[in-house]
Amino acid sequence: MYDYLVVGAGLYGAVFAHEAKKAGKSVLVIDKRPNIAGNVYTEETEGINVHKYGAHIFHTNNKEVWNYVNKFAEFNRFTNSPVANYKGELYSLPFNMYTFNKMWGVVTPEEAAEKIAEQRKEITGEPKNLEEQAISLVGRDIYEKLIKGYTEKQWGRDCKDLPSFIIKRLPVRLTFDNNYFNALYQGIPVGGYTQMVANMLEGIEVRLDTDYLKNKAELDAIAEKVIYTGPIDAYFDFKLGTLEYRSVRFENELLDIPNFQGNAAVNYTDRETPWTRIIEHKWFEFGKDKNGNDLPKTVISREFSSEWKPGDEPYYPVNDEKNGALYAEYKKLAETEQNIIFGGRLGEYKYYDMDAVIASALELTKKELQ
Ligand code: UDP
């Protein structure tokens, strides 16, 4: 009998499992995929750590979390500065003086602020949705060229039907600062995320290719308590209805050239290009292999966003009102279940960043393992 069965070997599950073992508990971690590390999984190809389920750039303001992850990996000095490609015009992201200069020819912060102030006049009152929030932050020109197409591709919904908090993730700055994140600490784990998660799970029994929901009775019988990090609606066999998720499909290519786009991330912000962005993985580690040599080839991933359907991997919860209300119902149901805790992006139906997921798992360990 295990003290804990952890369902899902992603960050939430790995952090909990690590802490539980440290506290002297017996733990079994299972995952239905053939690999650990959930969506942060990386796999080496030609010396390049490829982010198989999409780009993950670790960033946080939480010192406890930063110190925590540094116990399991060394982090490099990567700083995310994506480039937006709108029909061949390139703009710096996030929205900053480089972006404003390219868009409007403005040179000083004062001129940029004036331009934004003029364009935001069309929004009166509190922004009600993502479109209004975006225009109120950066004006209509930037909304039309850098936000609308990308957002509608990523979410498959009109910007008027999306919650405004999504766009508040992006900084707006009147300085020449291309750092995408407002975070004190940022980097990519040297050697890849898979190695970092493997270090968290060291000494812990892990069974891959093991589907909890398909073998629930059997698996429940071998543990006192379950930490479940899968989709909450799937746990309840969708009995109140299905929560909506966005899924992502990647087309990966190994190219026999050293440099495809000169940056880790290029976002295609027009509506017509079918992919949302192209990731060139080698730039997360400055184009070098583990011995510091320049890599001769490159791996790129085109990212296509789609509505989740059964059989796909869920990536993003669609945190609009309708889904929020349904999740609240599932959460009530979850509270009536015995000996199970729901956690992580899918278990809590929340657009968590990696650091927030780790903070949330650590929070749980403090309550659960004392
Ligand atoms: N976004 C945008 N244009 C961009 C990049 C981002 O409008 O070029 C908006 C878009 O609404 C998106 C949100 O910012 O859904 C968050 O994007 P981010 O790339 O941070 O999301 P991730 O996929 O990395 O979680």
Q: Is the CB of 170 under 6 A from ligand 1?
A: yes
- Domain membership of residue 40 as a residue range: 2-77+184-242+317-369
Nearest to 267 by CA among 148, 98, 150, 139: 150
- Label residue 149 by pLDDT band (50, 70, 90): very high
Quote the radius of gyration of the chain (alpha carbons, Å).
22
- pLDDT tens string 354-366: 999 999 999 999 9
Answer yes or no: is 292 within a domain: no
- pLDDT tens string 189-239: 999 999 999 999 999 999 999 999 999 999 999 999 999 999 999 999 999
Q: Where are the alpha helices (DSSP H) in the chain?
A: 11-22, 63-69, 97-104, 109-120, 130-138, 140-142, 148-155, 193-200, 216-220, 232-235, 321-336, 344-347, 354-368
Do 107 and 62 lie in one domain? The reply is no
Q: Is the CB of 309 under 6 A from ligand 1?
A: no
Q: Is the CB of 39 under 6 A from ligand 1?
A: no
Do 151 and 188 lie in one domain? The reply is no
Select from 166, 195, 217 the last residue of a domain.
166
The number of beta carbons lying within 10 Å of the beta carbon of residue 104 is 17
How far apart are alpha carbons 272 and 87 in whole angstroms? 9
The residue from 246, 316, 345, 355 that is catalytic is: 246
Residue 178 has pLDDT above 90, yes or no: yes
Answer yes or no: is 275 within a domain: no
Tell me whether residue 277 is one of the annotated catalytic residues: yes
- pLDDT tens string 29-77: 999 999 999 999 999 999 999 999 999 999 999 999 999 999 999 999 9
How far apart are alpha carbons 230 and 218 in whole angstroms? 18
Q: Identify the pLDDT of residue 172.
A: 96
Answer yes or no: is 70 within a domain: yes
Number of domains in the chain: 2
Q: Identify the pLDDT of residue 370.
A: 81
Assigned token pair, 171: 């900084």
Residue 5 has pLDDT above 90, yes or no: yes
Tell me whether residue 141 is one of the annotated catalytic residues: no
Q: Identify the pLDDT of residue 147.
A: 98
How far apart are alpha carbons 23 and 294 in whole angstroms? 43
Would the pTM count as exceeding 0.85? yes
Answer yes or no: is 47 within a domain: yes
The residue from 244, 303, 348, 355 that is catalytic is: 303
